[in-house]
Amino acid sequence: MPVPEMDVSPVKSLQWEVFPPMATCRVYCTPVLWGGRLYVMGGCSENGMPLDSVEVLDLESQSWCQLPPLPTARAGASAVALGDQLVVMGGMDAQQNPLASVEVYHPDEGKWERKTGLGQASMGITALEIDGKVYALGGMGSDTSPQALVRVYEPVKDQWLSLASMPTPRYGAFSFLHGNKLYVLGGRQGKMPVTAFEAFDLEMKSWTRYPCIPSRRAFSSCAATERAFYSLGGLQQPGPHNFYSRPHFVSTVEEYDSEQGVWLKPTRSSRMREKRADFVAGCLGGRVIVAGGLGNQPSPLASVESYNHVKRKWEAVVPMPTPRCSCTPLQTTNMLFLIGGVSQGPSNAVEALCLQESV
């Protein structure tokens, strides 16, 4: 069945909203959206040290407030909203060691509370809230090795339980919930990018392996729509057959069709318009969005493009107000936030690409 054209919103319905800047410039921070407020926690400062500072943006009044600091300064932590509290876990401390500590913020009381730790220290955890529980997948351990751990947090018991491990250990992976399955793509093992594509069945509590991402690229991004998964861009390492070439930026787009269960053969028009790595990817209005990052230019990219799956081609979107790479993304149904990151040094910019329904 052909997909109707109206599944894809017009490009002009995508516009940037610029919020007031954060008080603190930061990269590798941890955002959570809860109750109409954007909480930004921790991250890395200009001198490379982890931060304990917490700021909250009221989206309606567009004003920032400082909150009580994190009990443990951390960069690259993971966080989810769980009921009426925010759960922050793992990350890296000032000695660049992974953390096991878990802390909960109670917005109603304005207080932090320490909770049962992860058991094993981890940074680069992929975390999701599902049915009132926190699922924490993978991470990098104290010995810098990738982990295959799958842990679930039960808030009533303040207890972490272990589930069946991922077939492929990794950290910094991309995860997507579809139906009763938790899909995990990409990630890293040390300096090596991971191509494994796996899914955890929440009912059967078991893992299924899917065909791997066809090419191995560092600093790539992933996105998912109702019908497909995408592995996008990145830095291609030279292969063994081409020993002397350098790593190079690519515009590669690999699309996994969920119904057919295959990675589609790429076409010339399915490539991104610009080669980029270390960028943000998301979905708005039935389109895959890519924004910013690094390319073949001395400074970060401002360009934004969107993939129209009906035409199987990329279309230009209004550029980013503040060009950046290493931004922390936060996705809602009609907004894609880009928080902090790096412009010349760590940035305090907070901007969101918004889907204007009325256009």
| Span(s) in the chain for CATH 2.120.10.80 | 10-24+219-358, 70-214
Note whether 64 and 22 are within 8 A (CB).
yes
Query: Which single residue is written with the structure tokens 């069709």?
Result: 257
Query: Which single residue is written with the structure tokens 């351990």?
Result: 141
Q: Is the pLDDT of residue 2 over 70?
A: no
pTM: 0.95
Q: What is the pLDDT of residues 121-161, one digit of tens each?
A: 999 999 999 999 999 999 999 999 999 999 999 999 999 99
Q: Is the pLDDT of residue 238 over 50?
A: yes
Fold of 70-214: Neuraminidase (2.120.10)
CA distance 232 to 319: 18
Backbone angles phi, psi at 243, to 5 degrees: -60, -30
Per CATH, is 10-24+219-358 categorized as 3.40.220.10?
Answer: no
CA distance 286 to 256: 16
Q: What is the pLDDT of residues 101-115, one digit of tens each?
A: 999 999 999 999 999
- What pLDDT was estimated at residue 140? 97
Q: What is the pLDDT of residues 263-293, one digit of tens each?
A: 999 999 999 999 999 999 999 999 999 999 9
319: which residues sit within 8 A by CB, 6+ positions away?
A: 302, 303, 304
DSSP state letter for 165: P
- What pLDDT was estimated at residue 237? 81
- What pLDDT was estimated at residue 337? 98
